[in-house]
Amino acid sequence: MKWLMVGLLVVFLLLGSFLLTPSPVDSKAWNPPSPPPLTGEVAPNERLRLADLIARGQVYGPEDTAVSEDGVLYTGTQDGFIVRVFPDGRVENWLSTDGRPLGVVFDSQGNLIVADSWRGLLSISPEGEITVLAREAEGTLFRFTDDVDIADDGRIYFTDASSKFHQPEYMLDLLEMRPHGRLLRYSPKTGKAEVLLANLHFANGVAVSPEGDYVLVNETWKYRILRYWIHGPKAGQAEVFADNLPGFPDNLAVDDQGRYWVAFPTLRDSRMDAMHPRPWLKDLVAKLPSSLKPAPQEYGLVIAFDRDGEVITSLHDTRGTHLQEITSVNPHDGNLYFGSLHNDRIGRLPLQAIPGLGDSN
């Protein structure tokens, strides 16, 4: 009986300490829409399992990819390196950004433009010289520089996913469900970054349209894609491009046929959707160790949209054993390249292997 009382006292003290400890988030209630069924063009398939695996076991967390004019594949990894994968399969740790490189894209001069979650917007010359282009916009420092794309006029569009939480704390940003994200634009002429859209719920992937008249940005926690008009009668306005998606949209890219390819690290989580209307519960969950927080389902998913936001096709790995937690999809020279925040490989799938797309590039 004595040991039972001692045990109950310890449990009581631990529970009291847990409840009295301040939460790292100030959660907001949100009522998410019911998830759409996985039917029609988004019906499960195993097309991602047809992808070749590049640099398997030699990279960790190749979040995004870019291919240079000479066919070398570049990616940023969890340890802060920019890694190069040569056409012959050789893998090289080229240089370290001393941060966490996420989105990558080449500009017209062959510089690798990097959205580094810790260091901001970077430019890396072909010789390996790193220049910090921007660390803040309109007085607010970047805290989670995420993805990047470049328009034909040279202006750089990129995102700061959260102005409150750093990259390792993205789950806290999800639980809090407050709009800390921004869509930004950097001008090489002025050397300044400006805010195009603020108050986004985790501003993530960006892609400039082939005509340069708008840019798409993924609002990950809201399960939707927004379109921000750059030119034309709607210039400066934003609208919903695709809504109530079946997963968390991450990076996206457009191919030369005008198709937008969107990477989804995982499907919607019913536990997360159930918690969103209950901020008190999210505040408690935020205090739990990472091992006790909801873990994403192991699943691979990529969806292609047309210019009107309608689904064209989808690629799945329902078991998540070949490609999972896909955070980027980039078309290049007839192939799709798949990156991942935590995986140890890069996927490559020929477009001709996708039913209905075999005759296009």
pLDDT in tens, 48-90: 999 999 999 999 999 999 999 999 999 999 999 999 999 999 9
Domain parsing of the chain, residue ranges: 39-353
> CA-CA-CA-CA torsion for 78, 349, 334, 153, nearest 10 degrees?
-30
Q: Can you give the pLDDT of all 361 residues of the chain as single tens digits?
A: 554 443 444 434 344 444 447 899 999 999 999 999 999 999 999 999 999 999 999 999 999 999 999 999 999 999 999 999 999 999 999 999 999 999 999 999 999 999 999 999 999 999 999 999 999 999 999 999 999 999 999 999 999 999 999 999 999 999 999 999 999 999 999 999 999 999 999 999 999 999 999 999 999 999 999 999 999 999 999 999 999 999 999 999 999 999 999 999 999 999 999 999 999 999 999 999 988 877 889 999 999 999 999 999 999 999 999 999 999 999 999 999 999 999 999 999 999 999 988 554 4
Please tell me what DSSP assigns to residue 37: P
Token couple for 203 = 């501003």
Token couple for 146 = 């995420």
Q: For the segment 170-204, what is each residue's pLDDT rounded down to a tens digit? A: 999 999 999 999 999 999 999 999 999 999 999 99
- Tell me the CA distances in angstroms from 79 to 98, 124, 138, 166, 329, one per residue in order: 8, 17, 30, 16, 21
Which residues are registered as beta bridge partners of 54?
Answer: 346
Q: What is the pLDDT of residue 1?
A: 55
Alpha carbons within 13 A on the beta-carbon side of 271:
10
Q: What are phi and psi of 97, to 5 degrees?
A: -90, -5
- Tell me the CA distances in angstroms from 310 to 158, 223, 243, one per residue in order: 24, 15, 10
Long-range contacts of 310-314, Cβ-Cβ distance < 8 Å, separation of 24 or more = 311/40, 311/41, 311/42, 312/41, 312/259, 313/41, 313/354, 313/355, 313/356, 313/357, 314/41, 314/42, 314/43, 314/45
CB 227 within 8 A of CB 241: yes
What is 39-353's CATH number?
A: 2.120.10.30
